[in-house]
Amino acid sequence: MKSKYLWLFLFATALLFNSCRKTDYATINSPAYLRVFNCLEYNATLDNKDVPVPFLAFLVDPVMDDAGVPVSAAITGDFLDVRSEWAMPYPDAASNVIWQKEFPGTKRVLAGPILNGYDLSSWAQVPSGKHHIVFRTRPLNNTPYFNLDKLERGVTLIDTTIDLTAGEVYTMHALIAEYASQQPFMYLRQETFTKQPFADSMVYVNFYNLSSKNWYQLAPDEITNQYLVSTKLQDTMQVYYSLNKRNGAVLTPLPGYKGVPMGQIIHSLEPRVAPYYSFPLFADTSGNKIFTGNMSQQFGFFGTGFSPENLGYPDFLPVGAYAGLILGDYGDAGKTSYLPFKIRTDLRTGLIVSIHSGTANPRSFATVNTIEYINRKFYVTTIQRKFAPPVY
């Protein structure tokens, strides 16, 4: 009888021990931080009908069989679709979508930390050191890459090696190197925003023209409503900005913030960090220094010899003379022909993150932003700073 009670005691103790056992989560020693975008646009024509659709699997250190088909990988970024116009400052944690607009996207991975005050949750932690990188086409379906039949595992578009330094932040793109050949290549930029002395009171932005070599010279000009719409950027253009506030459906530039010189956007496929420029978080002096109000940021890109003062009527400008991009709450301005590029970003405040923080709902925070022009399209990446959680 005593042995029976002893057995029950030992069994109960074992259950209690196992129910309270600590769960060990995977960790990465000395990680680097990586974010990957598929920038291989696809427009079906008779000339490229046999070209593989750029729906990709991103593979780190893949293992290949004798025929060169991947059978496993240390890291897999599957279902990698063409990137969104706006790469938000945080992943959608509640999303269960399969197709991804970036890596890691909504994939459950060990995400980057808050590093020097910047939220890296949209970056994945990856082991530092040398890695074999492959971008491979895949079918437009929901079957995980390594569950596909080997004959369905596509073709290799990019095959290269990289060397990642521990603690560094990297942005990777799949791009087209040259317009005529349409050959894809990997672009890897080591970011510096976590190391720069940026002020909390300023919003920062830098600009890249990552179009294919010879794209400006060889790509067709775009015609809309019988007028030439300026959607091409020359290799070097001057950047001016305006800060607008919405009154009803009308955007009104803030005093002193209309057509302000900012810097340059230069065509280059070298992965060097472009200079950061800035504008004030609370440029509207009539505000309460908590919420900026409904705002938009407008960027004008001007070719040699052109500026806001001598622009004239945009629809009659030569190719590459001017292009306009507006972000945020653009009201009726989004209907104008001289603003061919419009990206919503934050619906109320554009490149400014406005969110419930502390007792203020909403509260506005400065950000660091990258604006990339790639073959007639603009893309924006916004990085947010750490902020206090909401108080209810």
Whole-number pLDDT of residue 5: 42
In this prediction, residue 46 carries a pLDDT of 54
Q: Give the chain's mean pLDDT.
A: 89
Q: Is 264 exposed, middle or buried (CB count within 10 Å of its CB: 0-12, 13-18, 19+)?
A: middle
What whole-number distance in Å separates Cα of residue 341 and Cα of residue 84?
14
Q: Which residues contact 8 (CB under 8 A, 6 or more apart)?
A: none
Q: Are the C-beta atoms of residues 57 and 139 closer than 8 Å to each other?
A: no
Q: pLDDT of 202-248, one tens digit each? A: 999 999 999 999 999 999 887 665 556 678 999 999 999 999 998 87
| CB hemisphere CA count around 260 (13 angstroms) | 18
Are 254 and 244 in contact by the 8 Å Cβ rule? The answer is: yes
Structure tokens at 347: 């619906």
Determine the pLDDT at residue 339: 80
Structural contact between residues 153 and 175, judged by C-beta atoms closer than 8 angstroms: no
In the prediction, which pLDDT does 22 show? 37
pLDDT confidence of residue 151: 96
Cα atoms in the 13 Å half-sphere on the side-chain side of 56: 31
d(CA 228, CA 310): 18
Identify the residue whose tokens are 């990552």. Answer: 210
Give the model's pLDDT for residue 337. Answer: 66
pTM for this entry: 0.90
Determine contact, residues 339/378, Cβ cutoff 8 Å. no
Backbone dihedral region for residue 331 (phi beyond 0: left; psi -120 to 50: alpha; all else: beta): left
Give the per-residue pLDDT at 392. 92
106 contacts 124 by C-beta, under 8 angstroms: no
> So what's the pLDDT on residue 336?
72
Picking from 316, 286, 314, 291, the residue whose alpha carbon sits closest to that of residue 302 is 314
**CB neighbourhood size of 304 (10 A):** 10
Average pLDDT per run of 10 along the chain, which is 392 residues long?
42 40 60 98 62 90 97 98 95 85 94 96 97 97 98 97 98 96 96 96 98 95 66 96 88 94 98 98 92 93 92 76 90 74 91 95 96 97 94 93
Contacts of 157 (CB under 8 A, 6+ apart): 40, 52, 54, 56, 135, 136, 137, 174, 184
Taking alpha carbons only, the member of 1, 9, 168, 158 closest to residue 80 is 158
Q: pLDDT > 70: what percent of the chain?
A: 87
